[in-house]
Amino acid sequence: MAAVRVEEVLAAAEGQEAEKRRSITVEKELELEFDLGNLLALDRNPPASAGLRGDVPRREALLRALARDNTQLLVAQLWELPAERAGGAGGPLVARLPEPAFRLPREKPPPRPRPPTRWEQEWRRRWGYRRAGGDPARAWLAEVPEGADPEEDQFARLRREKRERVARNELNRLRNLARAHRASTTVPAAPLHPTGHQSREELGHVARVARVSTASLGRFQPRLPKEPAEPPSRNGGKKRRFEPLLGNLAAERSRQLELLRDMGSKKPVLDITRAVNKQLRQEEAEAAAAKGKKQSKRGKRGRRQQRVGRSSKRGGARR
Amino acid sequence: LIYSCRKPKTKRAKRFLEKREPKLKENTKNAMLIKGGNANLTVTEVLKDIYAVKKPFAVLYKKKNITRPFEDQTSLEFFSKKSDCSLFLFGSHNKKRPNNLIIGRMFDYHVLDMIELGVEKFVSLKDVKNSKCPEGTKPMLIFAGDMFDVNEEYRRLKSLLIDFFRGPSVPSIRLAGLEYVLHFTALDGKIYMRSYKVLLKKSGCKIPRIELEEMGPSLDLVMRRTHLASDDLYKLSLKQPKALKPKKKKNISHDVFGTTYGRIHMQKQDLSKLQTRKVKGLKKRPAEKSAESGGVSPKKSKSG
């Protein structure tokens, strides 16, 4: 008894399901082709021409029914797609569309690859895997150049040249270091920026330097009302001064006699003791400067202290 | 950059030119809707309705342009270059060809395909007094009729119509937002274009039942002249750059049922030296031990 009842219930349920499914099933002779990426459906069935040739309202109704059927099929396909809830649990149901399958022509031709920039073309790795460089170990072929001795070992030549290049590079590097070191340890000249502690002469010197550093070497710079006009010294300073040939006979005579006296005297022109003392003093000054620099680097005080030292060019052999 | 002679001087100009230059993944195609020298009311209404459907990816030119696309394509190409539109719809009217619409597309700012259609009947958006769907909805496109496959010209027309009405390419779509459907039927040398609003009704199961409501422009079209691109030019325009192809991962293959197979490469193993002492499953259970030593094991498995 119970079994029969259960079967009845099952049959009734199946019947209901079939009813429901009928509302969304559509019968078609040929299956439609779908391109879900474009939301496209293609129906190859020839339409019922008899009805569609009739009067207008009938035709509209038939077109609409056809459209409804096709749309139903398309929507069924779309609902089959993997869907998720966008924006959390309460968000709208969103289906992930596949890539469009129907091939449509492009708007513009595909972009041409850009030519590599000069840097991209010329860049060679400087270190590591496959680096550029004349590594003589990797040279498996060494052409004999035109004017060279045919008996000469080219590989040995490559190796020798590499060694020479390395040595030259190293020498230049050391020379640069020495020059930089020399430049850093020389006592700085009078600063051109205003500090609080410049004397009148220094300021005058700075003003003169500033005037001369224009393109016309200061010839057209406006002067203050009472500033004396300084013509460009024809003498050219100390080093570019040339005495006239026939001028001061007395001065010339005294100069020549002094020269002869120095040449004839047994006493050496260079006073060794004085030179050594001077050198010692210079070294002490350097050491003090280095120490002072280190200490002054830590604070602003370093800027305040100005060392108006004597230029090392002066002194030396004094007559 | 299109104007390579004129390099952009501002960032804004540079962005403008970058938007228009050829790219791997292209922008959505814009359409320009142009009126001819003697466009009548019907044709103007058609253009306005198509503009409403294709907004914002369309420009509607209000002034009349006296050109004949089938004879001289330069002015169309000039417009296309200036407004960066690769689809166009040109409407005109004369005694020989009443209510004429020329639908076409461009490749690299030169005309690729052009098809002339005559409008026999037109029902506008305004005439149908139903609720409309929001602007910019991506429409569902349905083509019915075997003519769309059999006839070469109809095939190109189908491709053109898909290109025209497709809208932007999206990765995912909201299922409840599928409101608009454009249905094209080819029958007896005529093409019936109908637009419907989709109503999703409850059915018993997950998939809803569809009811359609007439909305929007409906056109009865007749194919007149065509100017189709040669085969090789068409093939050239279809060519996609290689970079767009999905990169194939080596060593992974899929079979028909969707199972993913991969290959693991192992070094040669000396099976005699495998460590079996730490594998629990290979350990002898006390029952087996006693069975080995002799006698029937009390824990024999029952069959059935």
Higher-pLDDT residue of B123, A19: B123
- The answer to whether B210 faces chain A, any CB pair under 8 Å, is yes
What one-character-per-residue DSSP string does B131-156 give?
--PPTTPPPEEEEESTHHHH-HHHHH
Q: For testing the chain B interface, which of A108, A112, A114 should be mutated: the one with the most B CBs within 10 Å?
A: A108
Question: Confidence class of residue A319 from pLDDT cuts 50, 70 and 90?
Answer: very low
- The answer to whether B139 faces chain A, any CB pair under 8 Å, is yes
Over residues B17-26, the pLDDT tens digits come to 999 989 888 9
Which residue of B lies nearest to A80 if distances are taken between CA atoms?
B207
Chain B residues in contact with A52 by the CB 8 A cut-off are: 185, 187-188
Q: State the residue range of the domain holding A57.
A: 31-82
User: Is A108 in contact with B26 (Cβ distance < 8 A)?
Assistant: yes
In whole angstroms, give the CA distance from residue B298 to residue B81. Answer: 92
Query: What pLDDT does residue A190 have?
Result: 65
Is A169 a member of any domain? yes
Question: Confidence class of residue B91 from pLDDT cuts 50, 70 and 90?
Answer: very high
Chain A residues in contact with B185 by the CB 8 A cut-off are: 47, 52, 63, 66
Residue identified by tokens 């009739």 is A54
Residue spans of the domains in chain B: they are 27-231
In whole angstroms, give the CA distance from residue B163 to residue B104. Answer: 10
Q: What is the rounded average pLDDT of the residues B229-244? A: 88
**Is the CATH number of domain B27-231 3.40.47.10?**
no
In whole angstroms, give the CA distance from residue A52 to residue B145. Answer: 12
Among B169, B173, B206, beta carbon nearest to A94: B173
Chain B nearest CA to A10, separation (Å): 17
Closest CA relative to residue B237, chosen from B86, B111, B81, B107: B107
Q: What is the rounded average pLDDT of the residues B260-285? A: 84
Q: Which residues contact A124 (CB under 8 A, 6 or more apart)?
A: A131, A132
Distances (CA, A) of A82 to A78, A93, A94, A268, B86: 9, 10, 9, 105, 33
Length of chain A: 319
Query: What pLDDT does residue A19 have?
Result: 77
Task: Return the SS3 of B222.
Answer: strand
- Angle at the Cα of A236 from the Cα atoms of A235 and A242, rounded to 5 degrees: 50
Does residue B70 surpass a pLDDT of 50? yes
Question: Confidence class of residue A311 from pLDDT cuts 50, 70 and 90?
Answer: very low
Does residue B148 surpass a pLDDT of 50? yes
Question: Confidence class of residue B295 from pLDDT cuts 50, 70 and 90?
Answer: low
Question: Confidence class of residue B3 from pLDDT cuts 50, 70 and 90?
Answer: low
Higher-pLDDT residue of A242, A153: A153
Over residues A14-45, the pLDDT tens digits come to 888 887 777 778 888 888 999 999 999 999 98
Does residue A224 surpass a pLDDT of 90? no
Query: What pLDDT does residue B142 have?
Result: 94
Does residue B154 surpass a pLDDT of 90? yes
In whole angstroms, give the CA distance from residue B202 to residue A205. Answer: 99
Closest CA relative to residue A61, chosen from B101, B217, B46, B196: B196
Q: What domain count does chain A have?
A: 2
A:B CB pairs within 8 Å: 189
User: Is A67 in contact with B212 (Cβ distance < 8 A)?
Assistant: yes
Provide the strand spans (E) within chain A: 33-35, 40-43, 83-85, 93-96
Boundary-marking domain end, from A82, A107, A122: A82
Chain B nearest CA to A4, separation (Å): 26
User: Is A45 in contact with B183 (Cβ distance < 8 A)?
Assistant: no
Query: What pLDDT does residue A297 have?
Result: 67
**Which amino acid is it at B171?**
P
Does residue A312 surpass a pLDDT of 50? no
In whole angstroms, give the CA distance from residue B231 to residue A96. Answer: 34
Which residue of B lies nearest to A112 if distances are taken between CA atoms?
B22
Does residue A145 surpass a pLDDT of 80? yes
| Whether the bond into A111 is cis, omega within 30 of 0 | no
Q: What is the pTM of this model?
A: 0.62
Structure tokens of A137?
């170990």
Residue identified by tokens 């026999």 is B120
Q: Are A81 and A95 in contact (CB under 8 A)?
A: yes
Boundary-marking domain end, from A59, A82, A105: A82
Is A76 a member of any domain? yes
In whole angstroms, give the CA distance from residue A125 to residue A132. Answer: 6
Query: What pLDDT does residue A309 have?
Result: 46
Provide the strand spans (E) within chain B: 31-35, 58-64, 87-92, 100-107, 110-123, 140-144, 172-174, 180-187, 190-201, 209-214, 218-227, 252-254, 260-262
Instruction: Name which of A47-51, A224-228, A303-307, B253-257 the model is least confident about.
Output: A303-307
Q: Are B113 and B158 in contact (CB under 8 A)?
A: no
Over residues A88-114, the pLDDT tens digits come to 777 888 999 998 889 899 999 998 888
User: Is A75 in contact with B207 (Cβ distance < 8 A)?
Assistant: yes
Among B21, B143, B192, beta carbon nearest to A43: B143
User: Is A71 in contact with B142 (Cβ distance < 8 A)?
Assistant: yes
Chain B residues in contact with A23 by the CB 8 A cut-off are: 203-204, 209
Beta strands B31-35 and B58-64, pairing class: parallel
Closest CA relative to residue A93, chosen from B174, B81, B300: B174
User: Is A39 in contact with B141 (Cβ distance < 8 A)?
Assistant: yes
Which ipTM score applies to this complex? 0.80
Does residue A294 surpass a pLDDT of 90? no
Higher-pLDDT residue of A284, A235: A284
Q: What is the rounded average pLDDT of the residues B135-159? A: 92
Length of chain B: 304
Residue identified by tokens 């190859």 is A44
Instruction: Name which of A36-40, A227-231, B49-53, B233-237 the model is least confident about.
Output: A227-231
User: Is B166 in contact with A96 (Cβ distance < 8 A)?
Assistant: no
User: Is A108 in contact with B169 (Cβ distance < 8 A)?
Assistant: no
Over residues A296-305, the pLDDT tens digits come to 666 555 455 5
Over residues B94-109, the pLDDT tens digits come to 899 999 999 999 999 9
Higher-pLDDT residue of A313, A292: A292
Q: For testing the chain A interface, which of B17, B19, B143 should be mutated: the one with the most A CBs within 10 Å?
A: B143
Average pLDDT value over all residues in chain A: 83
In whole angstroms, give the CA distance from residue B147 to residue B222. Answer: 13
